[in-house]
Structure 1
Amino acid sequence: MAADDVSVDDKVKRTRDLLSSFYSQDASQISPPSNTTSRFATLDTINTTSFDADQYMNLLVHKSNLEGLLQRHVEMAAEIKNLDTDLQIMKNNIVGMEVNMEQLLDKIMSVQSKSDGVNTLLFEKREHIEKLHRTRNLLRKVQDCKKASEEVMLVIVNKLEDKVSSDSESIQARAEAVMLLKQLDFPVEKLESKLLEKLEQFLEELDLSKDTSSDSANPHESINEGIESDSIPPRPEVPTREFVEAVHAYHVIFPDSEQHLVKLMHDLTTRHFEAAKQQIQEQVSSAKLSNRLRFIWTDVLSIDEVLPEAGLQDFAYEAARDVLKQYVTSLFSYLLHEISDALLQIQKDGIGEEYPLRAALEASKNALIQGSTKVLSDIRYLLDEDLGLVLKLRDMIISWVQEGFQTFFTQLNGQLLLLSGKDVPTDKVSSGLVLVISQLSVFIERDAISRITEEIGSSLLGGSYEYGSSAFYISMRTQRISVLLRKRLTTPNWIKHKEPREVHMFVDLFLQELGAVGSEVKQILPQGLTRRHSRTESNGSTSSSRSNQLRDNRSNTNRARSQLLETHLAKLFKQKMEIFTKIEHTQESVVMTIVKRCLKSLQEFVRLHTFNRSGFQQIQLDMQYLRITLKDNAEDEAAVEFLLDEVIVAAAERCVDPSPLEPAILDRLVQAKLAKTMDQEPVAS
């Protein structure tokens, strides 16, 4: 059994060796293993290139018996047969494989040819597909960028929307946020109503009732403190500036919201004036009301700049008219209340006065006079302020005051009748109160009305109320005479004027006009108290020395100019002459006012021309004649002397050679003119 196994193994090994040697590329590389036995090594040489058949047979005979040889023969014959069969099969298979390989090669070549054709046909499409593929890759990158930018824009839009909706942000900041949203193509129309609601809410929360100034209740304290405090009013904080800026921004952002914004502007102005009315009800001072009106007018001008379509100025004028009329009415109402309180003090126990009726009468008189003066002072304070709202309503305010006083005295009459017990049982009325009311009525009739009327004229009309027409008359006459003086100065060529031989004719015309004035006023106006101001009694009395200095003999122009310098230096140390004083309802006051205004006009006309020596001497001669002729008719001689000297000095300043006439020549020419005038008067009579 063991021998069979060994033979099988040997057979397998030999077959493997044969196949290996057959398929080996180099049979010489196959050598028998070194560890085999000599028998196997020798017998195995059959598969080598150095096979020796004789040696092999000798070894085989030597090593094997007969049966073994026969067995070996049979095996080898069978093995050779099998191998031959196998080789034939392999040969046939190889030949078939060559045919198949050729067919396969033909098919491969055909496929390759068709593939090349397909490649040629699809080359352009393949290039286009590759381009599309690259574009697709780029689009993916762009989509990523777009997605990132959209996310950023979404964040920005959300933040801007939050900013618009935030109450902590200012309205101006929210308006800027809307502008940015509009630049981002965000549909801002839906925000319009939201922002306008915010604007309305801001307007509702805006506090306009607080005081806009730090002035005291006394409207004239600032006047008493100095010119600076009077001329520079306080600049209140303007809480509506942000509101106005927001309206301007919304008007630009939302053009369709113009009507809504106009309504808001009107509401703001209405609230302003409602706050002013509330202050009036609290008995506000004229200074605070003036600051309130200035505050309102500032807002109106600001709004008119950004939204002129609102027409806010006309709207403000209408509202201001109601407010100012209410203010004037409230002043008289408070005045009537104060007088009533002063009278009712009699009915109170424990007054502590020794003469309570006298005290009540004096208190009521003071309340009437001082209260009326305060009313006029408050109104005057408003009129003197440079307020756009008040300037247009000035005449209307003055008319309201005049009508208010008429209504006030009517109401006061009714109040006094009520307090005196009209339609009331006698036992319920204090007799002392009736006595005080009767005396107060007499005071009102005799003194109070005239004084208050005078105050109305001086405070509101620029002069006495009953003498307002006198001021107009003075203005008309002065203008007429000024035309005469201007023609006199503009007609001749003063730089080529000849030496004076007589007083100029215009002096006669001037005196004729003054004579006509005197004749007219004597027919209408009363004669005043005789108060002649001589030169020594006037503040400007020493100014006449200037004309005396100019009449001194001068040897040359330098001396004349030296005299003028001394005149100016002396003028610096003199008290100021009050030329234009208050106009009184008398003949002397009206005539004197016209004379002073005409001489002042003559001085200004002289300053507009240049004179030679003869022209200057002509002016000197004319003024000397006026000095004599006006001396007897002038109420204020000092003022006339002062103004005549001013005319001569003005001519000297404008003269190339200011050498005056010799005193003897001057007196001779003046006396000749006086004599000629005296001769003409009997002929005229």
Structure 2
Amino acid sequence: MASAEDEAFNIDGNSFNSDLYLSKLLKEGNLKQIMEKECEIVRESQYLHSEMQTLVYENYNKFISATDTVRKMRKDFKNMQAEMERLNANMEKITQFSGTISDSLKDSRGAVDKLCETGQLLRKLQFLFLLPSRLNESIAKGLYSDAVSDYLHAQRVLERYGSQPSFQGIQKECEEIVNQLITLLKERLATHDATAAQLAESVCLLVQLQGSDEALNEKFLCSSEPRLLNHLETLKDTNNCSDLLEWVERGNSGLLADLCIVVSSYNEMFLATANSDSVIQNLNHFTENIMLKYLELAKVQFESNAIKSGTEILVRSLDKFYRRLQAINQQIHGNDYANEAADIVMTVILSKGQNYFNMIKAQFWERLVSIRQSIASKTSGDLKEMLSSLQVFIMEKVQASLQDLMIFLQSGLSFSFKPACVNCVVKACIDLVSDTITDLVSVVKGFCVLQATNNSTPAQLLLILSKLCYELQNSGINCLLSQGNTLLDKASHLAESVCIPDSLGINLCKHAGEGAQTLLDSYVNHVGLKVSQMLRVSVLSREWIRVPEPRGVRAVARRVLEALAAAEQDALQLYDSGTTTRQSSDSSRRTHSLSASKLPYRSNWSNGVLDSSLASNINKLFSEKIEIFSPVEPTKVSIMTGIVKISLKTFLECVRLRTYSRYGLQQMQVDIHYLQLYLWQYVHDENLVHILLDEVLGSVINRCIDPRLMEPSVVEIICERG
């Protein structure tokens, strides 16, 4: 019903209802809309009226034209019938006249035939008498083929009538001239300046004059070889030229064109008359020798230009080279030179992929050196920006290289449909991604070795490279492999789809993860040893027996906190904060349990020290062992925890090497409490700091000759003032 109602309001439909349309228009539209609609309908009506008049006038004109045409055809048909009758009468008269003429010339027809035969014989005799001069003239002008053609044309007559005295002189003179021509043809075979067409013409004429023999085909090949070798020398001299397309064109139009002329001429002259094994073997050996040298030159040329030539030029050159050798296969039988060309194409593809890898490797190393110099000179402190530049560089370069390799699979190329070439492109893509990631991880691991041997690698560079490896492991490698598969899906036009295997991504991600872990552990060790060196020097370079009463915190404690704060700032730029375990908001303000409760202030400290040492050792038995050099997680808290553990462990081992006075113990108590006030915020579990610092203080007490600790309140006042 809705459709019927719509048809009723459709002004162009068959079921249009003007009353309903008008009532709807009056109900829904205002006065201005109604007037505009009226003007529109009037304008359309006038236009339709004008179109209708035009159609009527055109049809009327066509009708009048058709009537005139029919009237004219009737008149012309009558005239045509009269013409045909006159033509028939004329043909009958011509037939009668032809019969009369034939009857009158019947008697003289035989005489005319005899005269024609006599004239033809005279022309032949004239040709024979003029043959020596014609031969000499053709030879003088270099028209050897015309001379041979004339001689062969007259040879049958001379052989038939040569015994007659009148023809003996002509035959003898012609034979002498032909012998001279044979000598000239053989001399042209021996010259190195003759073209392949001239050599073929000479051999063809000699075959026509002397017949085919094995010595002649060998001489033909020997005469053709110097010119082909000259082509090879020319190509060799132009090796490493800047225009690879020009080099291929020279080979196609020069060497291969002449070789095809030699082979086709050889087949026409010798194989057609004597299809023996020796004749075929001579040709095969000759062509294999030339083609082997040409393919060696082509391989060197393409491999050398794979580095400096653009991919588009390289692919176009390979396509021309491959197409020409495909055509050679149709003319030269023996080896499959198209497969030889395909092998060169695959070699170039792999070489191109290797060149891309070498370029990325060199440029990546340059960027690493630049970043290292920036860190060393402290011209830039934005580690995140440095990381982003490295990551973007690797992704863009590898993706651009993969895109470039897909040019070898364009659908218009002659070798792009071959499965071997497609698989070679896939292998080049796999090698490019695999070698890039593997070499990158090996390079960055080398910085760990350098840092461990001579401590020359900046710690911030290790942190940047560790994050780079983590980013590659988490998303970068899979993104590159996905990009490669997408490009292969678009470029490959074979029935079977090709792709990069998933196992490659798993192995590369695992390798990148191992490199990231190694770098992060190396960074923690580097910074931890740097802080440890501060603590070690501060402990071992001081005479703790003669220190004065402590009045403040030593400068080394502040430098340690500054170094940790700098390391935390660097880690926060690249890694997430991570989770921490906090016991209470004021836990950082507590004093050591060992100093507050285990050692009460009294005159005899021996029993107290023994009791505290025994209690500390018993607590160690039941507490979890602290792994100092455990693997670091990729979070800021885990990194800082590793640095703090190494630093405090070194502090503990250095403390055990010294002997302390009462004031030395108290100075250590102040420094330890000061460190405790701030170190807890860097680790994931503050108990770890408390345990290690308690061990340090306990070790100092055990090495003290007069173990008297300061009051905790006094320690806090000194630390707050410091």
TM range (shorter): 0.3 to 0.5
TM (norm. structure 1) is 0.40
Computing the radius of gyration over CA atoms, which structure comes out larger, 1 or 2? 1
